[in-house]
Structure 1
């Protein structure tokens, strides 16, 4: 499937029914468009089955609750909707996007408790998020923006508003010929990329930033489990930027990114080494099993 995302063939589930792709629309005074009252999930289906689909549905509901609204569907119901979207579009290997938001209604200010909550699910075929970086290693810029404090915003929700600095940072990175950008957090510690968590290797052990002010990704959690099952020590800790020079390997994790090696961050270079390739293969085997 190619072309603009508003001009494609297929079906999108919207507020209780499957509609033609081009007809899946919302009003210009939708609250989420003005005030970022929106949460979403990015998921991948492999061989017709969404990997960790139920966990994604549960997180979507929890993210909405963090933003003070309730999605009018259970996790099981959302699971069934996602499966229906895959089936009607004839997809077995696809990216799935579930999104919930405060719609247009009686309120058009910051407060919106009387507005309806809407839900949509779409799916499309999507290849490697970082293109050929899966073999060559992604090149990352270092973002000028910082991941915020948990006291300022619900940092553990997968909320649209949290991605504003991601869009700006990724645009700046692409302008420099990079695939993505690495954030530091509000304290100056290494945090994550714009849409993926990050891991480092040193002396056969793995180090990854402590997810205390950013999303603890489901892929991140899966990869940590896989590493521990292999007997590899994993350190979840605060990492200072100056430590980047001492790490030998690096990779990104995420539903879209899957496990993608990193070859460069700013002036620091990393090898696409054996451990990186092994965990990428192990993850690939798992999601297709």
Structure 2
């Protein structure tokens, strides 16, 4: 579908696998897995404003899916848990996306991204086996260690978030994006913080473009 892409656009690609057809609809008998892919034009306007103003996050009362029910390391297209978490925080903190805690109260990830906190010079993030181990997460950890930062994969608490000097998330559309507000407060959070800025620069150098400027330009052109 590349020929359908506008000159100013970027495409996303989704590759999916299912167990196959549902016996309820086709009757008894063996089924084969189904594999398919689809593309879409990246809606840069969803993140463009946050590249300059920062994103707003809030801790949801909806918990992270228990690992005994859904393995946290898989990318599931069943998004009901994340939808409910986002709806929960939107009612209390309009314009915010959800941070999910697990059953023990440890910080896991947001509804769409991996989450990092910068506290007292260290970069904290949830252990890889408790969240979706995103590619952008892995690259960001590599960049941070190359820059000399201590990266701790650990069971973060809400206190780690509340006492953090910086928060940022990682996800494919924007690589890395800083947070300017947690719950209803921005006090104590630096945006963009020095660690966040250095890591964004590392991403820009790897890709060869200014990722956030590109998102803003695509968003401007898409808006017409």
Q: What TM-score, normalized to structure 2?
A: 0.79
> What is the aligned counterpart of 2:154 among 228, 233, 237?
237
Q: What is the Cα deviation at residue 95 of structure 1? A: 3.2
Q: Secondary structure at the match of 2:59?
A: strand
| Matched residue, 2:171 | 254
> What is the aligned counterpart of 2:48 among 126, 131, 155?
131
| 1:171-182 to 2 correspondences below 5 Å | 171-175=87-91, 176-182=93-99
Distance change in 2, residues 1:241/1:108 (3 Å): same
Q: Distance in 1 between matches of 2:37 and 2:149?
A: 40
Q: Secondary structure at the match of 1:145?
A: coil
Distance change in 2, residues 1:119/1:185 (3 Å): same
Q: Secondary structure at the match of 1:264?
A: strand
Q: Distance in 1 between matches of 2:22 and 2:57?
A: 44
Q: What is the Cα deviation at residue 265 of structure 1? A: 1.5
Q: Distance in 1 between matches of 2:11 and 2:110?
A: 20
Q: Distance in 1 between matches of 2:171 and 2:98?
A: 14
Structure 2 residue 193 is matched with structure 1 residue 277: no
Structure 2 residue 183 is matched with structure 1 residue 266: yes
- Paired residues of 2:63 and 2:103 also in contact (CA < 8 A): yes
- Paired residues of 2:116 and 2:167 also in contact (CA < 8 A): yes
Q: What is the Cα deviation at residue 168 of structure 1? A: 1.9
Q: What is the Cα deviation at residue 218 of structure 1? A: 0.6
Deviations 1:46-103 (A, max 9, x none): xxxxxxxxxxxxxxxxxxxxxxxxxxxxxxxxxxxxxxx33x3246751313232448
Q: What is the Cα deviation at residue 217 of structure 1? A: 0.8
Structure 1 gap ranges (5+) = 1-84
Q: Distance in 2 between matches of 1:212 and 1:104?
A: 27
Structure 2 residue 10 is matched with structure 1 residue 94: yes
Q: Distance in 1 between matches of 2:98 and 2:35?
A: 32
- Paired residues of 1:139 and 1:180 also in contact (CA < 8 A): yes
Q: What is the Cα deviation at residue 211 of structure 1? A: 2.6
- Paired residues of 2:113 and 2:170 also in contact (CA < 8 A): yes
Q: Secondary structure at the match of 1:135?
A: helix
Greater relative contact order (CA < 8 Å, ≥ 6 in sequence): 2
Structure 2 residue 24 is matched with structure 1 residue 108: yes
Q: Distance in 2 between matches of 1:91 and 1:207?
A: 39
- Paired residues of 1:200 and 1:206 also in contact (CA < 8 A): yes
Higher strand share: 1
Deviations 1:117-136 (A, max 9, x none): 14132131431543311122
Structure 2 gap ranges (5+) = 210-224
| Matched residue, 2:111 | 194
